[in-house]
Amino acid sequence: MDINFFKKIRILDSGMGQELLARGLISKGTLWSATSLINEKYNQLVIDTHLSSIEAGSEVILTNTFTTRRVRMIQNQVKDQFYFANKKACELATKAKKLSKKNILIAGSLPAQNDTYEVDKRDRNIIKKDFYDQANIINPYIDFFYLDVVSSGREIEIASDIIQKLNKPMLIGLHLKKNCKLPSGETITEVVKKYKNNRWLGVIAACVSLEIIEKSSFEFKNLNLPFGFKANLWGVEEPLPVHRFNKARFNEVGKNPNITLGKREEITGKIFCKFAEKVIKNGATILGGCCETDSSHIKELAKLK
């Protein structure tokens, strides 16, 4: 693919996991969207969710592999389904692209390999194996990798080395806290200067609130690299890792995470678009949604093309 793809305004897709729950998915524990891959009766929901983003104007869709990381599969006693679920996610994304008859790109969602929103402090070799095994399954089906909600430069370095060896470009999705730093305490600038390589397509704020994205855009614009966002609409500005939740409330079968995190119902597609316009003025070209966004938000973003 063109390494300059994101130098002009491009529209990513909306969130997958919460939208699947809204469409009727009953999750197994904390598998959330991965349940839709293991249980065949939900496969069509994945295809339909991809198609709704494409029809709204997305030029890129992500594989539904955010919760098919090995750790999450082990936690939910389905580790034997690791290969199957990752492959199935790619097949469903490919099928959605074919059905749409549109020349969209497929990005391989390669998430932080331990918990979300938190630095992975495990042994380097364990992290490397987890990244490699998931990336190796996804690689044949995708146009580029998306490092999905990563929390430290160390994780970016490990994953980037693997992706380079697989000869694919990558978009880097940084999770940011209220102080506009990664959970590791590193600044955006520090991470980009230390770990950027010639396969980077750009860097975005990943699963981050509108307010943090707007504040951080002033730093992003000085990096001489395409940037943007996949914004969440959680009701809290700083979402917590899974293990910090009250298990009695959170791990019930089918329990929707927005019961714990809440949802910003007031952020309509039009308001989301107005927010995007402000960030575009700071130079953003990569626009998309994460948790609690849907095709109505993407439809409005697509008008900015």
Mean pLDDT of 142-160: 98
Domain count, the chain: 1
Domain that holds residue 185: 5-302
pLDDT band at 242 (very low <50, low <70, confident <90, very high): low
Task: Give CA–CA dist 85/130, Å, rounded.
Answer: 15
Using the predicted structure, report yes or no on whether residue 249 has a pLDDT greater than 60: no
Structure tokens at 193: 């200067």
Predicted local confidence at residue 259, as pLDDT: 73
The CA angle 291-294-297, to the nearest 5 degrees, is 110
Predicted local confidence at residue 245, as pLDDT: 46
Task: Give CA–CA dist 204/199, Å, rounded.
Answer: 15
**Strand boundaries in the chain, DSSP class E:** 10-11, 60-62, 105-111, 144-150, 170-174, 200-208, 227-231, 286-289
Using the predicted structure, report yes or no on whether residue 246 has a pLDDT greater than 60: no
pTM, two decimal places: 0.95
| Beta carbons of 250 and 257 less than 8 angstroms apart | yes
Using the predicted structure, report yes or no on whether residue 268 has a pLDDT greater than 60: yes
Q: What is the mean pLDDT of the chain?
A: 94
pLDDT band at 74 (very low <50, low <70, confident <90, very high): very high
Using the predicted structure, report yes or no on whether residue 219 has a pLDDT greater than 80: yes
pLDDT band at 258 (very low <50, low <70, confident <90, very high): low
